[in-house]
Structures are given as C-alpha cells and as structure tokens.
C-alpha cells in the first residue's frame, strides 16, 4: 500500500516525493518484528517507549516512521499527535477494514467475559454460523486455536486476526473487550454490532485511577464505540440488569437495548431455576418465546452469563431453539469452575477468580451446593492492584471453612509481601491460625494457614479434604504458567491437583 494513502488516512502530510513513491509492505509497533519496507509506529507501552527503538527499526529496514514527537532518524519521520489511534487506523486500512464484513460482538465487564463468550460461541455454532472468538484464553476459529497474550490484542494484531478470520470464512466474531483495550484504543476502528455488559466490581486499580475511572472506561464501549461504528440498524446493547452498574448504564444508552435479568420487565428473564452440583436448569423467556434448558455450568453468576449470551443471541434474532441447543452443547469452560477429574465424594474445582467479586461469586456458588466443608486455596497476583488483597482475604475467610493463602503470579513482588497484604482480611473474618502439621493431623474448626509454595498449598488443601467436602483452587484458572520474577514457569492448577489425586498419599 502506498505510504501517501496511509498517511492521508491518519491526517499526516503526504505530499512529499518519498510518501508518494514509497510502498509499505507491512506495519509494526514492535521494532523486533520490523522487516524491510515496513512502517514503524512508535507507541508508548507500559514498560517501554517505542520512540526509544526507532533506530533499531530503521536498522531492520523500516521505510518510514510514524512518531508522536519529532525524532532524528535515517528515514522520513511523520509526526502525529496520537500514535495509538494512528496505529489502529493504519491497521484497519492496511487489512481492508475487516470488521465491516463481520458481525462483531464485544463483551466487557469485570467478570464473566470468557464464560459468556464460550456460551455465545456455542449458540452461534448451533445456529449454523462460522464463529471466531478472541479472548483471554486464546483466539480461535475453524478448529484452530492460537495463544493470546492479552485479553484483547493490540490494534495491529487485532485487525490482522479479524482479517484472517474473514478470509477463512468466519461470519461472526465474539470478542472479549478489556478496559485496557478501550483505554489504549486497541479496538479503535472496530465496527461493533452488539456490545454486552456483564458486571463491574473492583479490579485493575493499578491501571485506572479509581473505580469511577474504571467504570467511565467500561461505559465507552457503549457510549462511544457501539454508536459510532457499524450499521446503525444492527447496533444493540445487551446489559445485565441484575448488576448495579448495568442498571446505571441502561438510561445512558442511545441505541436499542436488550436488558437481561431476573426482573419480569427485562425482555430476557429466567424462571423456575434450579441449581446444583450438576449445573443449572430452568426456563428462560425471550421476546421470541420461551425455552427450557440445562447448563453444565454451576452457580448464580453463570446463570447471569447464560442470560447475557441469550440476550446477544436475541439481539441477533436467533431462535429460542438455537439458543437452548447452544447452551446445552457447552459442557465446560477452561478454568471457570472446572472440575478436576477424580473422586466423586469430594469435588475439586479450579477457577480463574482473581477479583473480590469473582471469588465471592464462586464461593457462594459452591456453598449453595451444601458441602460438609469448603476449602479455598488462593493468592493474589504481584504488580497488580494491592487494595483488593485484604478484600479477597476477608471473602475467603468468611465463606470458606479452611483458607490456604498461597502465591499466584508474584511477578516482581516478594510472595511474603503479597501474603502479608491478604492476611488482615483473613484475620478480620475470624478463625484459627493453623500450621501444616495441624492440617495433617485433621482439623475441625474454621481457620486458615499460609503456604507460599502453590504446589504445596494445593497438595495440603486436597489432602485436608474428606468425603463431602469441596475444594476450590482460585486465581489462575486456565493458565499453564506461573510468573516468578522475570521467569515464566510451567504450572497448571488442574495438572497439579490431578497429580495429588493420583498419588496414594493424596487420599
């Protein structure tokens, strides 16, 4: 593509001889990926500033640079006020506006994005569509799955993925949209057809100034992106009206809305719901009729996820039969109350819950199953919002019979320092402080213990269980690694739990 055309799209002067004659073979924001004839866009990241790597990009063959301030380089540099939006616009044009030819559904909220995406993917497939998904666990289409390092990829990667999906015959894309993606313009130039709001609770306050700023960012998916892109006739918001912030969002919408929730006035609402260890059963009323369903997923929070996916399917005019079949075709979601194969007398679950609200939802869902005792093993991630640590400690201490505080992904923080932040909340909930030998000898009263080694903590928790108990390992879910310092080490909660179960001493 001619450089002059690309520069014109982002509002840069494009009348130089260089711009008129130069043809751009590729676009890059990481200097390590630059190839000959590429256009390098310098953006400021969390740890590094792309402007510091312009010389590296030139050495690798960059034909031109787009920067946010004047920089001396051996190739022409084209300045623009906002290189993040410029990158998104350039990527959209370079890949020929892929979102325009797709039905694009964005899902945002603190919790429930991944599960809602899986349910909606299943519904759309049962309705006969070729579906792609971009989310926390991976991005996938046509029976292929690819690693996805962040929930919503950088704009260049996102537009490339959308273009790949479109070329491969995908018609509908379900995309998890993080607050980072909204704030950092990763989804700029994406034409959304449907946007789903699941809920909002404390998270990412290491990035956002406060909860109000976090909420303002989330709202932009509906008040900015949904109403400016795509066909106006197809723009629909789907909002969880059972969530406090969902009820606040609805009056601010300027596009049609499908509200979902327990209240009868919601176009999508449930009835005759029964929840147990085998899942959720009941009836859902939608504008096109009523259907009965059974979902293998457990807990009230997953009922809300089912309703959100149903609302989106309703917005897309899918039949109640397709919705029912799609819900019932999904057996599990990786790392979301995922049951570890093993003993039937003491279920062991792995869940991604790493926020106060998510942890409380999971523990309440499991308590509703009336276990003899509930054992929770969890930690908090390093280099992330510290204020949620005592909150999560209090929740586990209050709702669990035994809390084992351990490490999650400590990153560059000391595990002991993270645990020290968690413990005031655990103490506030009351209970005895146990030592490992106390647990090995059997325990009766409500309490907690500390084991920084996550592998040892999982072994302790499972070995401390008896018939009738439930064990939940929270925080990492589907992840197959643990980040300690600057190292990423192989680690899977599911595999660690399964290994304990298989060992004779694990029983």
What does the pLDDT look like over 354-373, one tens digit per residue?
A: 999 999 999 999 999 999 99
Is the model's pLDDT at 85 over the cut of 50?
A: yes
List, in sequence order, every residue forming a beta bridge with 275; answer none if it has no partner: 280
Residue 106, beta-bridge partner list: 175, 195
Which two three-digit tokens encode residue 78? 């084209």
Query: What does the mean pLDDT of the chain come to?
Result: 95
Residue 425: count of CB within 10 angstroms of its CB:
22
Based on the fold, state whether residues 270 and 403 are members of the same structural domain. Answer: no
User: In terms of residues, how long is the chain?
Assistant: 507
Mean pLDDT of 428-454: 94
Q: What is the predicted pLDDT for the residue at 201? A: 87
Q: What is the pLDDT of residue 506?
A: 44
pLDDT tens-digit profile of 38-82?
999 999 987 889 999 999 999 999 999 999 998 999 999 999 999
Residue 208 has a pLDDT of 63
In this predicted model, what pLDDT tens digit does every residue of 3-47 receive, in sequence order?
Answer: 999 999 999 988 889 999 999 999 999 999 999 999 999 999 878
Residues 114 and 255 in one domain: yes
Give 185's contacts (C-beta < 8 A, 6+ positions apart): 82, 84, 85, 88, 155
Looking at residue 228, its pLDDT comes to 83
Q: Which residue has the higher pLDDT, 506 or 246?
A: 246
Q: Look at residue 507 in the predicted model and tell me its pLDDT.
A: 45
> Which CATH number do you get for residue 49?
3.40.1390.10
- Section 160-187 average pLDDT: 97
Q: Which domain holds residue 32?
A: 3-83
**Is residue 348 a part of any domain in this protein?**
yes
Same domain membership, residue 150 and residue 74: no
Does the pLDDT at position 205 exceed 70? no
Strand partners, 376: 403, 472
Same domain, 235 and 126: yes
Q: What is the pLDDT of residue 505?
A: 55
Mean pLDDT of 104-116: 96
**Average confidence (pLDDT) over 295-300:** 94
Structure-block tokens of residue 299: 């807990």
Look at residue 405 in the predicted model and tell me its pLDDT: 98
305 and 198 part of one domain? yes
Extract the tokens encoding 35: 């190839």
Give the CATH number of the domain where residue 385 resides.
3.90.190.20
Do 377 and 273 lie in a common domain?
Answer: no
Indicate whether 60 and 139 sit together in one domain. no
The whole-model pTM stands at: 0.93
| Mean pLDDT confidence for 471-485 | 96
User: What percentage of the chain reaches a pLDDT higher than 70?
Assistant: 97
* Mean pLDDT computed over 385-405: 97
Looking at the domain assignment, is residue 91 inside a domain? no
């Amino acid at each position: 593509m001619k450089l002059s055309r690309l520069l014109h799209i982002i509002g840069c002067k494009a009348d130089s001889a260089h711009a008129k004659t130069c043809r751009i073979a590729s676009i890059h924001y990481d200097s390590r990926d630059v190839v000959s004839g590429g256009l390098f866009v310098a953006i400021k990241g969390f740890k590094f500033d792309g402007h510091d790597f312009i010389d590296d990009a030139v050495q690798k063959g960059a034909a031109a640079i787009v920067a946010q301030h004047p920089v001396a380089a051996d190739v022409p540099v084209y300045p623009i006020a906002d290189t993040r939006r410029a990158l998104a616009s350039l990527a959209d044009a370079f890949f020929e506006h892929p979102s325009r030819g797709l039905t694009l559904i964005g899902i945002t909220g603190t919790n429930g994005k991944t599960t809602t995406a899986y349910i909606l993917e299943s519904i759309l497939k049962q309705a006969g569509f070729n579906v792609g998904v971009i989310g926390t666990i991976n991005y996938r289409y046509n029976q292929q799955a690819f690693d996805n390092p962040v929930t919503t990829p950088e704009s260049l990667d996102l537009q490339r993925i959308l273009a790949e999906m479109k070329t491969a015959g995908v018609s509908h894309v379900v995309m998890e949209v993080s607050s980072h993606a909204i704030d950092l313009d990763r989804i700029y130039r994406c034409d959304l057809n449907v946007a789903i709001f699941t809920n909002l609770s404390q998270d990412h306050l290491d990035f956002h100034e406060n909860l109000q700023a976090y909420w303002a960012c989330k709202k932009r998916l509906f008040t900015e992106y949904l109403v400016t892109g795509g066909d106006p006739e197809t723009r629909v918001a789907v909002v969880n009206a059972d969530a406090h912030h969902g009820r606040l969002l609805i009056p601010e919408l300027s596009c049609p809305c499908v509200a979902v929730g327990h209240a009868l006035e919601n176009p999508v609402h449930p009835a005759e719901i029964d929840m147990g260890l085998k899942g959720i059963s009941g009836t859902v009323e939608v504008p096109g009729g009523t259907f009965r369903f059974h979902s293998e997923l457990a807990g009230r929070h997953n009922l809300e996820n089912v309703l959100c996916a149903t609302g989106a399917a309703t917005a897309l005019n899918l039949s109640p039969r397709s919705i029912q079949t799609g819900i019932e075709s999904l057996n599990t979601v990786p790392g979301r109350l995922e049951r570890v194969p093993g003993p039937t007398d003491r279920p062991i679950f792995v869940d991604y819950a790493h926020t106060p609200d998510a942890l409380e939802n999971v523990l309440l869902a499991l308590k509703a199953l009336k276990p003899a005792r509930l054992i929770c093993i969890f930690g908090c991630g390093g280099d992330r919002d510290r204020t949620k640590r005592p909150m999560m400690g209090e929740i586990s201490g209050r709702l669990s019979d035994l809390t084992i505080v351990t490490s999650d992904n400590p990153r560059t923080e000391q595990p002991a320092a993270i645990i020290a932040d968690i413990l005031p909340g655990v103490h506030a909930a009351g209970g005895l402080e146990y030592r490992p030998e106390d647990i090995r000898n059997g325990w009766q009263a409500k309490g907690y213990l500390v084991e920084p080694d996550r592998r040892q903590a999982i072994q302790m928790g499972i070995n401390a269980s008896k018939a009738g108990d439930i064990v939940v390992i929270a925080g990492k879910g589907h992840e197959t690694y643990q980040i300690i310092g600057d190292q990423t080490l192989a680690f899977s909660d599911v595999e660690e739990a399964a290994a304990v179960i298989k060992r004779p001493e694990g029983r």
